[in-house]
Amino acid sequence: MSDDSERLDDPALYYQAHVFCCTNVRPEKHPRGSCARKNSVQLRDYMKKQVKESGLSGIRVNASGCLDRCELGCTMVIYPEGVWYTYSSEADIDEIIETHLRHGHRVKRLILETDQKNLFLGQGKR
């Protein structure tokens, strides 16, 4: 049996950017809401199509379950950087594709900061 704990280098990235878009749905009146009730399924499909048509390579756009920042959604997180965005329109998606995925910059107006929690129900409430 080999001892993997001695490995120093991670494997090369499989995707240059791996995007996870929450498509979780909750009942209509759930106190936390859910991204799918804010159109995330359609926006994720739009992003997937736009990335494909953009000619960008090495980018994967996946649907995800709840990312646990529901009140701030629609939410997505892009790895390997671990940058989070909130978005609500195709224009937001277009800007994320062009600014972040194509040029490696950030869309500051849409970024979710690490300490940014539940703005609508009170800090940290679940």
Binding residues (CB under 6 A) for ligand FES: these are 22, 24, 34-35, 66-70, 73, 75
State which residue, 54 or 88, has the beta carbon closest to ligand FES: 88
The H or E element spanning position 33 is none
State which residue, 69 or 100, has the beta carbon closest to ligand FES: 69
Cα 83 to Cα 100: distance, rounded to the nearest angstrom = 10
The first and second tokens of residue 103, run together, are 């040029």
The first and second tokens of residue 79, run together, are 């790895």
Q: Nearest distance from residue 52's CB to ligand FES, in Å?
A: 23
**Could you check whether the bond before residue 74 is cis, i.e. omega within 30 degrees of 0?**
yes
Q: Nearest distance from residue 57's CB to ligand FES, in Å?
A: 28
State which residue, 24 or 50, has the beta carbon closest to ligand FES: 24
State which residue, 48 or 69, has the beta carbon closest to ligand FES: 69
Residue 39, judged by CB atoms within 10 A of its CB (0-12, 13-18, 19+), counts as middle
Q: Nearest distance from residue 123's CB to ligand FES, in Å?
A: 16
Q: Nearest distance from residue 40's CB to ligand FES, in Å?
A: 7
CB 75 within 8 A of CB 86: yes
